[in-house]
A = this chain, B = another copy of it.
Amino acid sequence: MPVVDTRQSAGEKLNARPDDQRKDIHNSDVPLLCRSCEARHRGICGVFNAEELTEFARHTRRVNHASGEELIGEAAGIDSYATILRGVVKLTKTLKDGRQQVVGLQLAPDLLGRVFGEESRLTAETVTDVELCKIPRKTFESMLAADSDLEHRVLLQTLRELDEARDWMVTVGRKTAPEKVASFICFIATHFHPTAALAPGKSVSFDLPLTRADIADFLGLTIETVSRQFTRLRTDGVISIAGNRHIEVADLERLRARCG
């Protein structure tokens, strides 16, 4: 079953803080680069006022990555953190013989990088074109040590990731292949296109950010099984598929009924 997205309530919690009005008044002083940035409101840097943001932006650097690039390798040293501005990143773990498991999906405005970790315990790889706002590791860590509001936001994101990971453990560990695939489509529909979830009865359509191979690695299945389940959902009239990636869900409730 899909997670309740805590981002909304997290934002409210922070916006309720007393010093927040001041931040809004200084809106016009925010760095040019940040002014149109969505992450500034919902992401990690949302805790900063104009002054802090200027200082922060001095160290950041926007970087683009094509789909399929490895951002962080397993057991690689971490030299920077990044906020995702656009696109989707998959977090994977790989066994010695090559079997792979996707352990998380991140998108704007998530923070990328395991805080307080000496080295990465997983691989981060882009699955779409991605735009990042990078900041050097040391810089971010000292800001984190100095700013407990910033650390608070990191905690909120970490808690959300933990909730999500645990939801997926149920799906991966206890659901059947048909249920897994239905759950995956539900997950994408509700998390990547939040408006969809709010229109019960209406049809929802979107592009899957992942290949069948990625979906298989996410669900602990093979590509063939994933494909067969997509076909089954299509022939049963629960979804329609256009050009492999584009999915239209006629009725989310009917899909949910198949999630176990």
Contacts and interface: CB of A to CB of B under 8 A. Distances in A.
A247 B100 CA distance: 30
A151 B19 CA distance: 20
Report, nearest first, the 8 A-B pairs whose CB atoms are least far apart.
A173-B220, A148-B148, A103-B166, A165-B165, A172-B173, A101-B170, A99-B174, A155-B155
Nearest to A104: B166
Nearest to A4: B121
Contact of A159 (B6, B114, B148, B167): B114
Interface in A80-125: 91, 93, 95-97, 99-101, 103-104, 114-117, 121-122
Contacts of A260: 95-97, 99
A16 B199 CA distance: 52
A159 B156 contact: no
Contacts of A99: 174-175, 260
Contacts of A167: 93, 121
Nearest to A13: B116
Given A95-B170, A165-B165, A172-B220, 8 more contacts: A93-B167, A99-B260, A121-B163, A148-B151, A148-B152, A158-B158, A161-B162, A162-B162
Interface string A1-16: 0010010001001000
